[in-house]
Every structure is written in structure tokens, then in C-alpha cells.
Amino acid sequence: MSFPHDRPRRLRATPAMRRLVAETRLAPADLVLPLFVKEGLAEPTPIGSMPGAVQHSPASLVRAVRDAADLGLGGVMLFGVPAVRDARGSGATGPNGVLNRAIRDVIAEVGDGIVVMADLCLDEFTDHGHCGVLDAAGMVDNDATLERYQEMAVAQAKAGAHVLGLSGMMDGQVGAVRDALDAAGYTGTATLAYAAKYASAFYGPFRDAVESTLAGNRRTYQMDPANRREGVREMELDLAEGADIVMVKPAMAYLDVLADVAASSPVPVAAYQVSGEFAMIEAAAANGWIDRRAAIEESVLSIKRAGADIVLTYAAVELAGWLREPRSGGSAG
């Protein structure tokens, strides 16, 4: 009888050995926590389709960001839910708009202790729910929207945001925002370009969280789920316009795109484990079909393994806590 000389199982024998040879590692600093702040709330309000996530009051948001900083998370991404919306998303640029106020409050609390990111898109602020200004035919007007994005970028930078998350998928948005920031003197404010953002079915719970008014879909400006190579092309366009970080969204359903982008990007790559991906894990775990902690850890590890340097996930706080726990024997299964 002959035996193989190459025995990979030797390197799987114990938890300590598996840790030693692990090819992919997670740390709290890799994680970004998305957070919602709603105008007029006195207390946090649970989001039914996103177990464990809430719409924050201004005060509870500040506490949540402080906790995230104390846990060593890499960053937070802030989304605003205004009380009043209009066709141009005026609340996105007013200095007292819910998101701009929240940025100022958070920066006053944590300063540079954690990276404060802000969503730069109009969908939460428009009464029609689209990511831009509409023309007379009801279609998103790309160039008119870029002007609003420039105004929004300067407002968020003035409020103190470290990174602006350009999530609207308008052509030329990175270059337009970079020009506006530099002209206003905010040369140190970074841009996170949602380079490959797909028109996905997995955004439903997020739209509950921001109380979206969208009727219809965003397929004329978000990417077609059928297209893989286009993800790299979109990344290259954003890099040419000066993006500091690029994003693939969603993450779990687009790991192939994420791997392609990570293989060729000269800048850090982020990926967003979106609301629907998070909610599926929660729902399956609530029914006893999967081990919740193991599924969260495995899903986020898969995103990191595919090439993400930064992972946005609603499980960031719990995951950071688990990563900081003393090592145990681990699962034998």
C-alpha cells in the first residue's frame, strides 16, 4: 500500500495550526458599520426587516459611533432619513439637514478616532426615491444630478466627513465631486466610489431602513447583474477620475466581480454585505437552519478572501467583539 507524501491534513489538525497557516485574516479595523439616523426620533427604532439594526436618534447615533470606535472598527457609514423630501433632495445639502448635522455631531464626539464616512446620494432625500434629479420625461438627468452631488459633497466635507461614499452610479460622479472638493479647499476629503454597484434584489431591507419612496427600479443607472467584465471597466473609469477607494456592492452575490476588481485595483477595495444578504442569514438563523455566528463569520471571511480590504457589514460590532475574544478550541465540524 502506498501513502501520499503530501498531506494537507497535517496543517488542519488543531485550532492553533489552522490559525498559523490561515491565508485570510479578519480584524476589527477591516470592518465598517453602516448606521441610519432619522430626523425627529427621540429613541432608536428597530428595523423589522433587519433584525438587530435600528434607525438611530441623533443622540443614540453618537453613542453607537463612540462604541464602534472603542471596539476598534475601521469606520462607520452614515445614512440620513429626513422628515421632509422634495424632487431635488434639498435636505441633502442644507447645513441643518439630518445627515449633515449627524456628521458634525459624530465628528465632535470621536474626531479622527474612527473613519467617518457619509453616503453621498440623493435617494434618501428625494420624494421620488431616485438617486438623482429627474428631467421632464421622468428620467434621471445625469449632469443635473452631478451638480447636486457637488453641492452635497461640499456640505458633507464642511460638516467634517472623512470619506464620501459616492453611491449614485452617475457617469462622471467621481471627477465632478473631486473637482468641487478641491475648489472648495477640501483636498484632504477622500472619495469612496461605488464603482460596481449592481441593480440588485438584495437591497429591500435597506429601503425599509431609509423609508424609500421609490416606485419602479434603478436599472437605467445601476449595473446589470448579468455583467462581470463591466465591473472592472467601471472601476477603471472611477480611478481615472481620482477615486481613493473603490467599492463592489453587493458583496456575497458578486464575489467574482470583487475578485476581478481586487486583482487589478491599485487602491483599497471595499465590499458591502448588503441588507438583504444580512437579513437572509438572520432569518435562517432565527429558524434554526444555520449557526448564526458561524454563518456571519464565514460570510464576511469569504468577502475578505475574495479580495476586499474593507468590508461594510451590519454585523460589524458583533464580529469585532468575537474577534477580540480569547481563542478557544473552536468547532470540530
38 is catalytic: no
Comparing C-alpha atoms, which of 195, 211, 280 is closest to residue 244?
Answer: 195
**Angstrom distance (rounded) from CA 141 to CA 297:** 41
Q: What number of helices (H) and strands (E) belong to the chain?
A: 11, 10
Asked if residues 170 and 182 have their Cβ atoms less than 8 Å apart, the reply is no
Question: Pick the catalytic residue: 38, 158, 197, 304?
Answer: 197
**Angstrom distance (rounded) from CA 66 to CA 167:** 25
**Angstrom distance (rounded) from CA 35 to CA 109:** 16
158 is catalytic: no
Q: Which residues contact 232 (CB under 8 A, 6 or more apart)?
A: 260, 261, 264
**Angstrom distance (rounded) from CA 325 to CA 333:** 20
**b/e burial code for range 68-92 (CB count within 10 A of at least 16 → b):** bbebebbbbbbbbbbeebeebbbbb
**Active site members:** 197, 249
